[in-house]
Amino acid sequence: MLKFDFFRMNDISSTDYQKVYDQKNEVYEKFHSSDMVGWTNHIDISEVERMIHLSEQVKKESQCLVVIGIGGSFLGSYAVLKMLSNYFNDDSFPIIYAGTTLSSKYMSELLDYLKDIDFSVNVISKSGTTMETMMTYQMIKQLMAEKYDEKEQQKRIIVTTDQDQGILRQEVNQMGYQSFEIPNNIGGRYSIMTPAHLLPLAFNVDIKKLIDGYYQGEQFREEAFQYAVVRKCLANSGKWIENYCVYEESLYYFTEWLKQLFGETEGKNGQGIFPVSMVHTRDLHSLGQFIQQGRKIVFETFIEVEHSNKLLYNGQDLHTINGIVLESVRKAHFSGDVACLKIGLDYLNEVSIGQLLYFFMLSAAFSGYLFQVEPFDQPGVEVYKKEIKENLGVLSY
């Protein structure tokens, strides 16, 4: 279950808050008339079963799954996997992510590693035109062609892409690869409950519980709107940077997912809040100085996990100490004129993570409308893609 505490701040008067809050009907109307909110629909259960079944099959035939994708086709599953994995003695099925950089060191070491083991690949790209993904896929496919005959490749290549368009969909139709669809009415950063993320997660996570939690997230719609309102008011008062603070290292990639979600949703037409993140207490010993006494352009959102492993330090529970530290830091930063919001989840498990994902996605979409931008496009990302294409010439992918 999620808990919220948005009002530890000096910056917003109740009149200012009310003024932004009063846009609720207008925001909801825009949200409901958007054709990009397919992520609020229920997920086809037969597809969920197919993903689980396929993951079981791949586990029998492969020593690892290579997942190729970037941005909205990468961050969600990676973040959830990290949140639910053990730090040590992790007995989960090995998932290797690739295609998030063009590092020749990473790629050559990966190809070298894969040479001697049996593996399967899941390439994920809605457009089928993303350079990093497609180049990585070509390199992996070349290795597969050296190792496996056509029938075996068909078994080992799984494609997740647009339901009807793009090079990858064409390839599926020609080669008979196994495939899953990313619906037309769901964009990359809102695709967490599509096969783009559910399939890689199915290998190690109870995705049915995750989906249940996600549906339950709807009960926090009012809080999602309130969070969007508070953020907009803070931005109006000159707080242009939001710092997500987590107290568990395994949540770091969740903050990376949040950065994409809010950064791409709001950051257009000269609008939006710039999202950053810190892992505490580690980063208090670096950026903590700026937050406490630097330029007053930052507000913070603390994400707290209420219950964790039991471990005593000098007779006191270590996780309780971590919680006391969180509240002390909030108090200290608040005394330095930093608004300190908090979102808590009881346990780090599939259900509460599902709730949290939906809560933030709703809030980001509402926030886009409050900033008067289109929440579901990302024309700015296309600019660099176009520039690269011009500078590299036509690559054969």
Query: Which amino acids are annotated catalytic?
Result: 264, 285, 385
Q: Please report whether residue 72 would count as binding ligand PA5 according to CB under 6 A.
A: yes
For residue 42, what is the DSSP state? P
CB 82 within 8 A of CB 63: no
Nearer to ligand PA5, 126 or 268 (CB): 126
Residue whose token pair is 């053990």: 86
Q: How far is the CB of 334 from ligand PA5 (least distance, A)?
A: 33
Q: How far is the CB of 242 from ligand PA5 (least distance, A)?
A: 19
What mask of x and - would describe binding to ligand PA5 in positions 351 to 390, judged by CB under 6 A? ---------------------------x--x---------
Q: Please report whether residue 275 would count as binding ligand PA5 according to CB under 6 A.
A: no
Nearer to ligand PA5, 36 or 276 (CB): 36
Binding region for ligand PA5 (CB under 6 A) out of 46-54, 66-74, 229-237, 280-288? 66-74
In terms of C-beta distances under 8 Å and separation of at least 24 residues, what long-range contacts does 34-37 make, across chains too? 34/365, 34/375, 34/376, 35/185, 36/185, 36/186, 36/187, 36/190, 36/375, 36/376, 37/185, 37/365, 37/376
What mask of x and - would describe binding to ligand PA5 in positions 94 to 133, judged by CB under 6 A? -------------------------------xxx--x--x
Nearer to ligand PA5, 1 or 107 (CB): 107
321: CB partners within 8 A, 6+ apart:
313
Nearer to ligand PA5, 74 or 244 (CB): 74
Report how far Cα 336 is from the mean position of its chain's Cα atoms.
30
CB 214 within 8 A of CB 193: yes
Give burial (CB, 10 Å; 0-12/13-18/19+) of 150.
Answer: exposed
Q: Please report whether residue 73 would count as binding ligand PA5 according to CB under 6 A.
A: yes
Q: How far is the CB of 126 from ligand PA5 (least distance, A)?
A: 4
Helix (H, G, I), strand (E, B) or coil at 68: strand
Binding region for ligand PA5 (CB under 6 A) out of 25-33, 69-77, 107-115, 324-332? 69-77
Q: How far is the CB of 182 from ligand PA5 (least distance, A)?
A: 7
Nearer to ligand PA5, 99 or 288 (CB): 99
Q: How far is the CB of 11 from ligand PA5 (least distance, A)?
A: 30
Q: How far is the CB of 121 from ligand PA5 (least distance, A)?
A: 15
Identify which of 224, 202, 197 has the alpha carbon closest to the alpha carbon of residue 358. Answer: 224
The CA distance from 157 to 144, in Å, is 9
Q: Please report whether residue 232 would count as binding ligand PA5 according to CB under 6 A.
A: no
Q: Which helix H or strand E contains 160, and what residues bound it?
A: strand 157-162
Nearer to ligand PA5, 318 or 381 (CB): 381
Report how far Cα 6 is from the mean position of its chain's Cα atoms.
22
Q: Which of 71, 217, 344, 368 binds ligand PA5 (CB under 6 A)?
A: 71
149: CB partners within 8 A, 6+ apart:
none
- Beta-bridged to residue 316, according to DSSP, are 313
Q: Please report whether residue 188 would count as binding ligand PA5 according to CB under 6 A.
A: yes
Nearer to ligand PA5, 131 or 332 (CB): 131
Q: How far is the CB of 4 from ligand PA5 (least distance, A)?
A: 26
Q: Please report whether residue 301 would count as binding ligand PA5 according to CB under 6 A.
A: no
Give burial (CB, 10 Å; 0-12/13-18/19+) of 383.
Answer: exposed
Report how far Cα 293 is from the mean position of its chain's Cα atoms.
31
Binding region for ligand PA5 (CB under 6 A) out of 173-181, 184-192, 229-237, 311-319? 184-192
**Binding residues for ligand PA5, per CB under 6 A?**
70-73, 125-127, 130, 133, 187-189, 264, 378, 381
